[in-house]
Amino acid sequence: MLVKSGKTEKEAQQTLKGTFSEDKNELLSQQFQVNYEDEPAMFRKGSSVYRDKVETKVKTDDYGNPIKRIRLAITVSNLDIIGPEFWGKHQYILQEGKYRYEYVKKFDDIRRLPCCNWIVVRISACQFDKFSLIHSFDKPNDETALSLMNASASLMMEQFPDIIFGYGFSNEYSFVFQENTELYQRNERLILSSCSSWFTSFYMMKWKEYFPSKELVQPPKFEAEVLCYPKPKIVCDYLSWRQAECHNRNQYNTCFWMLVKSGEDENKANEILKGTLSKDKNELLFQRFQMNYNNEPAMFRKGSCTYRQKVKVSEDVVRDGWDVAVTHVDMGPDFWRKHIYIFDK
Supply the CATH classification number for the domain 118-304: 3.30.70.3000
What pLDDT does 87 receive?
82
Rg for the chain (alpha carbons), in Å?
A: 30
DSSP structure string for 149-175: HHHHHHHHHHH-TTEEEEEEETTEEEE
pLDDT along the chain (345 residues), means of 10: 92 91 92 92 91 79 77 86 82 60 68 94 96 95 97 96 96 96 94 96 97 95 96 96 96 95 93 94 94 95 93 61 89 92 83
Helix (H) or strand (E) holding 305: strand 304-309
User: What pLDDT is stored for residue 67 in this prediction?
Assistant: 76
Helix (H) or strand (E) holding 272: helix 266-273
In the chain, where the domains are located: 9-39, 48-107, 118-304
Residues in a beta bridge with 324: 308
